[in-house]
Amino acid sequence: MAGAGAGGRAGSVRSRTGRAVALARLLNRDCTRLLELYRERENFPPEMCLEKDRIVALSPSAPHLSANERVWLLHSALHQCLRLLERVIGWEDEQGFGEEGEYESMRSTVKDRLGHLLQSTKTLLVEGEGIAPLTPNPDNPEETDGLEKGGIFEAKLWTCRVLQELIHWTQSTAQTLHTMHSERDKERGKTTGRKGKRERGGIQS
């Protein structure tokens, strides 16, 4: 297949980035809907659980980072989000909160698509460079587990924050990858233009 790279990567980097962007956008919508369903179930007003502090404290938009580093940070953040989501799902199942409703269905969908997005971002990383994602900061107890610090109400608030993290990081992933995708398009255009000029010059010469 054209564009198939090593490690089972299918398509060109550009197309993979495009697919990752689309998937990140789709997942972002899913996460938004998941949070809505959660608020409905818990009768949480919109102003509740609007924490500004991030559980996953990474900054892939730093200007000095390379594209690969940015992808790597996004991949790490999404990986932590998946871990947080799995923890939430496990905790809710343990508490017997699941009842096979729309929330539970959407929760499962988000988990699956988040795994796919992780896989997509992983394929964007240059082999040998930062494949292993960052692990959570052990100094941030919230980042490790916010479900055990208080009662069930606090755990619900923390669940709400995890869902917000998902929204944030899927949006960041979509935006960052989209920017990278656009930049690569520009670079490709420039490269194609110079190469064309050279080729045309060679012919002329």
Please report, as ranges, the residues that interact with another protein according to CB under 8 A.
41-44, 47-49, 92, 94-99, 151-153, 156-157
Least distance to another protein from the beta carbon of 142, Å?
16
Q: Which two tokens stand for residue 129?
A: 């460079």
State which H helix or E strand residue 48 sits in: none
Least distance to another protein from the beta carbon of 143, Å?
21
**96 or 128: CB nearest another protein:** 96
Residues 163-166: contacts with CB under 8 Å, at least 24 apart: 163/31, 163/34, 163/35, 163/38, 164/35, 164/49, 164/50, 164/51, 165/54, 165/55, 165/56, 165/81, 165/84, 166/27, 166/31, 166/34, 166/81, 166/85, 166/110, 166/114
Least distance to another protein from the beta carbon of 12, Å?
46
- Please choose, from the candidates 88, 80, 78, the residue with its C-alpha nearest in 3D space to the C-alpha of residue 157: 88
**52 or 186: CB nearest another protein:** 52
Least distance to another protein from the beta carbon of 178, Å?
35
**51 or 187: CB nearest another protein:** 51
CA 141/CA 160 separation, integer angstroms: 17
**37 or 177: CB nearest another protein:** 37
Q: Which two tokens stand for residue 100?
A: 């096979």
DSSP 8-state secondary structure symbol assigned to residue 149: S
**18 or 98: CB nearest another protein:** 98
Least distance to another protein from the beta carbon of 51, Å?
11
